[in-house]
């Protein structure tokens, strides 16, 4: 049984998020998703997600193929999470290409191409413009 782990904010869920989760799941038999907390987001991007971490966790958990979810409290804890959840593969979008290569000593590290033409940031800009 191959266990896959991935991480993200997954705010204002869109097809790019769904596709990366499905492609991550297809690399193994069990998918664990670390949903970044509001505090982690704020420290990383200086902004609050639209949906709270509790809503984002609940939404991600409801997606077919997602077997387990947890809160990612810090980017630096990835190694700990990989060990804690006994992950065999770490999957990240290629916007993070090369950033997590240090974990290759713990598990396989795979960067998957992002879905072109969609992002939460662009969606929010469109919503603001048309509101």
Q: Are strands 30-36 and 3-8 parallel, antiparallel or unpaired?
A: parallel
* 45 part of the active site: yes
The count of other CB atoms within 10 Å of the CB of residue 100 is: 19
Measured from the CB atom, is 63 or 118 closer to ligand C2G? 118
Q: Interface with ligand C2G includes 119 (CB under 6 A)? A: yes
CB-facing half-sphere around the CA of 31: CA atoms within 13 A: 22
Q: Interface with ligand C2G includes 72 (CB under 6 A)? A: yes
With 0-12 CB in 10 A as exposed, 13-18 as middle and 19+ as buried, what is 122?
A: exposed
Q: Interface with ligand C2G includes 69 (CB under 6 A)? A: no
Residues with catalytic function: 45, 47
Sites of contact with ligand C2G (CB under 6 A): 7-10, 16-17, 20, 36, 72, 75, 92-93, 95, 114-115, 118-119
């Amino acid at each position: 049984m191959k266990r896959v782990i991935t991480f993200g904010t997954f705010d204002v869920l869109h097809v790019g998020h769904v596709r990366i989760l499905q492609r991550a799941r297809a690399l193994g038999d069990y998918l664990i998703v670390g949903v970044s907390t509001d505090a982690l987001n704020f420290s990383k991007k200086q902004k609050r997600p639209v949906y709270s971490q509790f809503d984002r966790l609940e939404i991600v958990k409801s997606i077919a193929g997602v077997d387990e979810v947890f809160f990612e409290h810090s980017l630096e804890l990835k190694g700990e999470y990989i060990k804690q959840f006994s992950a065999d593969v770490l999957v990240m979008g290629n916007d993070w290409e090369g950033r997590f290569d240090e974990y290759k000593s713990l598990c396989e590290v795979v960067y998957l191409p992002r879905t072109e033409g969609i992002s939460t940031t662009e969606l929010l800009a469109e919503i603001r413009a048309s509101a």
